[in-house]
Amino acid sequence: MENIALIESFSEFKDDKLIDRVTLMAILEDVFRNALKKKYGSDDNFDIIINPDKGDMEIWRNRVVVADGEVEDENQQIALSEARKIEPDFEVGEDVSEEVKLIDLGRRAILALRQNLISKIHEHDNTNLYKQFKDLIGEIYTAEVHHVRPRVVILVDDEGNEIVLPKEKQIPSDFFRKGDNVRGIIESVELKGNKPQIIMSRTADKFLEKLFEQEIPEVFDGLIMIKKVVRIPGEKAKVAVDSYDDRIDPVGACVGMKGSRIHGIVRELGNENIDVINYTNNIQLYITRALSPAKVSSVKIDEEKKRAEVFLKLEEVSKAIGRGGHNIKLAGLLTGYELDVIREGSAIEEDDVELTEFSDEIDGWVIDEFAKIGLDTARSILNQDVADLVRRTDLEEETILEVIKILKEEFED
């Protein structure tokens, strides 16, 4: 009964760890054999009988009977007089099976055995957890906020598994409180020692793609394909979609009536502006669509350099560039081409000067920042409001004021 009682106490792990009884018994046998090796030097002559249905077990030691005084290995042999205490009719050369009680192993051994059991079960859990979440990489997962730290949010799922959402994997506008439900994709599973660390991301392009699958039935059913997704998390995204069925308008199906279908996705992503465009193999048309909402006049392609000159009317330039250069950057990522914006028919005024003429006084990267928002001449910058330039570029106000000073001096001279 001692064995059964102890096994029953160990089997509490079955409920706590959601481990099946058969697996628990296999772990138990392994743990007990290790204990026997430590106690007797070998477990080769021991039989461990486990009943997974009843949750009980027996340990039997098998020894050979030898004459008194001739015992050379106490684990493998038993003296005749000792054997006859078990059964009075034993003779030399016969096999003796004797049940070993756990109590015979000693209190310390039992405590060590229990600790070893806990370690083995945790190891089993971690292996299963690693495999489980490896299969979920790239899939949407929901978990509850358990703890908010400056550089990371710790989440816990319904099974009590811990999931990590690092700061850099959060959308800039994300704000979480304990108890909030958070959706993201499982981006990676890493082994830290023996424990798996599960990383969630809300900034990955894949997260937006999976949200489309969840929220739009035609995407889920495969009637509409997501060809490519590019994002600046929390700011803007572009999604290229296509359909094998000409009767389906992929953009209309994704956006929905008055944006009804895409609204939930936008809200999930902190009001990220999402442009859905029709994919096409016609690269000129693809670039034109990618630069939406700007209306492109024409596109000149250089296939070898993967560059394209995009010609637009003056009033369309700022739309093509977008706030902070986001629109043109995403259009380039979506199409795989480096895009150069050229103002259509924009002959430089007689008293205007191209910004590149000031490369001796103004750093090239500063000139590039202005070019990103369609400002490539001196007067095009001088005609802008300083506060607006700070908002639309990645330049400091002090840098912009210095550039304006240089440009004004040119015209004063």
Q: What is the pLDDT of residue 158?
A: 86
Q: pLDDT confidence of 113, banded at 50, 70, 90?
A: low
CA 410, CA 153: separation in Å to the nearest integer? 53
> Using an 8 Å Cβ cutoff, are 384 and 405 in contact?
no
Q: pLDDT confidence of 267, banded at 50, 70, 90?
A: very high
- Beta bridge partner(s), residue 340: 309
- What's the mean per-residue pLDDT of the chain? 83
What average pLDDT does this structure show over 15-28? Answer: 62
pTM of whole model > 0.85?
Answer: no
Among the four given CATH numbers 3.30.70, 1.10.3470, 3.30.1480, 3.40.630, the one describing domain 2-131: 3.30.1480
**With 60 as the cut, is the pLDDT of residue 35 above it?**
yes
Q: Where are the domains of the chain?
A: 2-131, 137-201, 204-279, 355-412
Of 12-16, 19-23, 33-37, 405-409, least confident by mean pLDDT is 12-16
Q: What is the pLDDT of residue 343?
A: 78
Q: Which helix (H) or strand (E) holds 16?
A: helix 12-17
Tokens of 392: 């639309």
Q: Which residues of 70-103 are buried (b: 16+ CB within 10 A; e: fewer)?
A: ebeeebbbbbbebbeeeeeebeeeeebeeebebe
Cis upstream peptide for 217 (omega within 30°): no
**With 70 as the cut, is the pLDDT of residue 364 above it?**
yes
**With 60 as the cut, is the pLDDT of residue 398 above it?**
yes
- Beta bridge partner(s), residue 241: 226, 278
What average pLDDT does this structure show over 272-282? Answer: 94
**With 70 as the cut, is the pLDDT of residue 11 above it?**
no
Sign of CA dihedral 100, 103, 109, 114: positive
Q: What is the pLDDT of residue 170?
A: 96
The predicted-structure confidence for 115-157, as pLDDT tens digits, reads as follows 666 666 666 667 777 788 888 899 999 999 999 999 999 999 8
Q: What is the pLDDT of residue 4?
A: 44
Q: What is the pLDDT of residue 135?
A: 86
Q: pLDDT confidence of 21, banded at 50, 70, 90?
A: low
* Closest alpha carbon to 346 in 304, 392, 391, 315: 315
List of E strands, 251-327: 273-278, 296-302, 307-312
**With 90 as the cut, is the pLDDT of residue 266 above it?**
yes
What CATH number should be reported for the domain whose range is 204-279?
3.30.300.20
**With 90 as the cut, is the pLDDT of residue 5 above it?**
no
> Using an 8 Å Cβ cutoff, are 283 and 337 in contact?
yes
> Using an 8 Å Cβ cutoff, are 111 and 103 in contact?
no
Contacts of residue 20, defined as CB under 8 A and 6 or more positions apart, other chains included, come to: 14
The predicted-structure confidence for 213-242, as pLDDT tens digits, reads as follows 999 999 999 999 999 999 999 999 999 999
CA 98, CA 176: separation in Å to the nearest integer? 62
Number of H helices, E strands in the chain: 16, 15
Phi, psi of 244 (to 5 degrees): -75, -25
Of 8-12, 23-27, 144-148, 334-338, least confident by mean pLDDT is 8-12
For residues 192 and 288, the model is more confident at 288
The predicted-structure confidence for 304-343, as pLDDT tens digits, reads as follows 889 998 888 877 888 888 887 889 999 999 999 988 888 7
Percent of the chain, pLDDT > 70?
84
Q: What is the pLDDT of residue 1?
A: 37
Q: pLDDT confidence of 2, banded at 50, 70, 90?
A: very low
* Closest alpha carbon to 28 in 44, 46, 49, 42: 49
CA 271, CA 234: separation in Å to the nearest integer? 7
**With 60 as the cut, is the pLDDT of residue 379 above it?**
yes
Taking residue 286's Cβ as centre, other Cβ atoms within 10 Å add up to 22
Q: What is the pLDDT of residue 257?
A: 87
> In CATH terms, is domain 137-201 a member of 2.40.50.140?
yes
DSSP letter string, 377-402: BHHHHHTS-HHHHHHHSS--HHHHHH
The predicted-structure confidence for 166-180, as pLDDT tens digits, reads as follows 999 999 999 999 999
The predicted-structure confidence for 193-213, as pLDDT tens digits, reads as follows 667 889 999 999 999 999 999
List of E strands, 105-194: 140-148, 152-156, 162-166, 181-192
> Using an 8 Å Cβ cutoff, are 60 and 49 in contact?
yes
Q: Which residues of 128-167 are buried (b: 16+ CB within 10 A; e: fewer)?
A: ebbeebeeeeeebbebebeeeeeebbebeeeeebbbbbee
Q: What is the pLDDT of residue 54?
A: 60
CA 11, CA 53: separation in Å to the nearest integer? 12
The predicted-structure confidence for 58-93, as pLDDT tens digits, reads as follows 888 899 888 888 888 888 888 888 888 888 888 888
Q: Which long-range contacts (CB under 8 A, 24 or more apart) does 271-275 make?
A: 271/173, 271/234, 272/171, 272/231, 272/233, 272/234, 272/235, 272/236, 272/237, 273/235, 273/236, 273/237, 274/208, 274/236, 274/237, 274/238, 274/239, 275/236, 275/237, 275/238, 275/239, 275/330
